[in-house]
Amino acid sequence: MGNKTETILVTGGAGFIGTHLVDALLKKGYRVRVLDNLSLPTHDGNLPPWFPKGAEFIKGDVRMKDDWTRVLDGVDYIFHLAGYMDTHPDFSTYFSVNAFGTALLYEVITEKKLPIKKIIAASSQSVYGEGKYYCSNHGIEYPLMRDKDQLERGEWDIRCIIDNSLKRPLPEDEDDELHPSTPYGVSKLALEKIVLTLGEQYNIPSVILRYSIVHGPHQSFRHYYSGALRQFVAMALLGKDIAFHEDGMQLRDFVHVRDVVTAHLLVMRSDQSDFQTFNVGSGEPTKIIDLAKTVAEVAHVPFQQATQTYFRFGSPRNAFMKISKLRKLGWDPQHSLQDNVRDYIDWVKQYPEAKKYFHDALK
């Protein structure tokens, strides 16, 4: 059980991952405070019905120094999950929320000399960009993002620029080179540098968790970026053919939100995690087409693949993680791809209004 005298701040605690984390912390007996601005596109300005009872909610913005000052009073641990993620071209918002907001947190802590025990910050697999590949003739390579011309020709795979041979994708390792290729990814890399640099300089134990693609109940119906699972479920429940990007053979890493929560609880209590970065993924690459087939199977609809081909510029061909570093600390993900899909579909079915959002999003 947690220490009832300890107060935990969860920024972004009204969001998808945040609400699960808040639930788990309350169950462990901690006092939990949430800072969240209930922003679009995740929210409509109101707390979601599944926001955990028992948590103290403070509406505020991580870009406002006064809001940080207000919420940090008496706090022991901070889970910093508030973030802006999408594919919209309002580039500066990624940096104002994800980077500037994080720097303000450390500014207020150092100015006020607050005795914070640890900060655990949410980063993302997007910092790896296209990641690491193996070329049988040239060894390890970090290829650039595929350009638009290549994608328009429907040439999806990553090939060696010298001999055009197919390269083999390798799992992303915490020590890999980082080449983010989206404003979101670059802003998360900035967040990581801020957290680890200021954490070490001012001796504030700080940890980075790089999540892969997180799945589970509470994923906002409205949020386009909440990814392939939401889109495939929307298509399946609305009786549409399932459309995916590229040829569906690209690899992704889907981790269940409950496994992500146990990773947070573990690093919070482990001194070995201080000033470290950990991947939080499933440890299993999954082809996108297999996710689509699993959705059809769990939703009891025939799997029909749409004929149109889409792609999203800036999206890596493959992205999956090595999770041995966190495993060494004692963490082991417990949920399968089927669990992810079943738990999400079961949850969506409790909210008939989800179909309306799905319908609008697909349009």
Q: C-beta of 166: minimal distance to ligand NAD in Å?
A: 28
Q: Is 214 in the site for ligand NAD (CB under 6 A)?
A: yes
Are 272 and 317 within 8 A, CB to CB? no
- Which residues are paired to 208 by β-bridges? 121, 277
The answer to the question of residue 102 lying near ligand NAD (CB under 6 A) is no
Q: Which is nearer to ligand NAD, 39 or 110 (CB)?
A: 39
Using CB under 6 A as the binding rule, whether residue 189 contacts ligand NAD is answered as: no
Binding of residue 211 to ligand NAD (CB under 6 A): yes
Measured from the CB of residue 22, what is the shortest distance to ligand NAD in angstroms? 11
CB–CB of 10/21 below 8 Å?
yes
- Per CB under 6 A, 37 contacts ligand NAD: yes
CB of 103 vs ligand NAD, minimal distance in Å? 13
CB contact at 8 A, 119 and 206: yes
Stretch binding ligand NAD (CB under 6 A), from 14-22, 145-153, 239-247, 320-328: 14-22
Residue 240 as a binder of ligand NAD (CB under 6 A): the answer is no
Q: Is 172 in the site for ligand NAD (CB under 6 A)?
A: no
17 or 135: whose CB is closer to ligand NAD? Answer: 17
Question: CA-to-CA distance for 309 and 313, rounded, in angstroms?
Answer: 13
233 is an interface residue for ligand NAD by CB under 6 A:
no
Does 43 contact ligand NAD by CB under 6 A? Answer: yes
By CB under 6 A, tell whether 83 contacts ligand NAD: yes
Q: Using the rule CB under 6 A, is 283 a contact of ligand NAD?
A: no
Of 31, 52, 61, 319, which lies in the binding site for ligand NAD, with binding defined by CB under 6 A? 61
Site stretch for ligand NAD (CB under 6 A), options 75-83, 152-160, 233-241, 318-326: 75-83
Site size for ligand NAD (CB under 6 A): 30
Q: Does 22 bind ligand NAD (CB under 6 A)?
A: no
36-62 burial, b at 16+ Cβ within 10 Å, e below that, comes to bbbbebbbeeeebeebbeebebeebbb
* Least gap, CB of 281 to ligand NAD (angstroms): 10
Position among 10, 82, 228, 292 found at the interface with ligand NAD (CB under 6 A):
82
In the bound state with ligand NAD, the residue whose beta carbon lies nearer, of 14 and 120, is 14
The token duo for 7 is 């107060």
Nearest to 214 by CA among 102, 348, 124, 292: 124
Spell out the SS3 assignment of the chain.
CCCCCCEEEEECCCCHHHHHHHHHHHHCCCEEEEEECCCCCCCCCCCCCCCCCCCEEEECCCCCHHHHHHHHCCCCEEEECCCCCCCCCCHHHHHHHHHHHHHHHHHHHHHHCCCCCEEEEEEEHHHHCCCCEEECCCEEECCCCCCHHHHHCCCCCCECCCCCCECEECCECCCCCCCCCCHHHHHHHHHHHHHHHHHHHCCCCEEEEEECEEECCCCCCCCHHHHHHHHHHHHHHCCCCECCECCCCCEECEEEHHHHHHHHHHHHHCHHHCCCEEEECCCCCEEHHHHHHHHHHHCCCCCCECCCCECCCCCCCCCCECCHHHHHCCCCCCCCHHHHHHHHHHHHCCCCCHHHHHHHHHC
**CB of 46 vs ligand NAD, minimal distance in Å:** 11
Binds ligand NAD (CB under 6 A): choice among 9, 22, 31, 36: 36
Interface stretch with ligand NAD, choices 77-85, 311-319, 334-342, 345-353 (CB under 6 A): 77-85
Assess 213 for contact with ligand NAD (CB under 6 A). Answer: yes
Q: According to the binding rule CB under 6 A, does residue 12 interact with ligand NAD? A: yes
> Which residues between 123 and 142 bind ligand NAD (CB under 6 A)?
124
Q: Does 18 bind ligand NAD (CB under 6 A)?
A: yes
- Chain residues binding ligand NAD by CB under 6 A are 12, 14-18, 35-39, 42-43, 61-63, 81-85, 97, 101, 122, 124, 211, 213-214, 220, 223
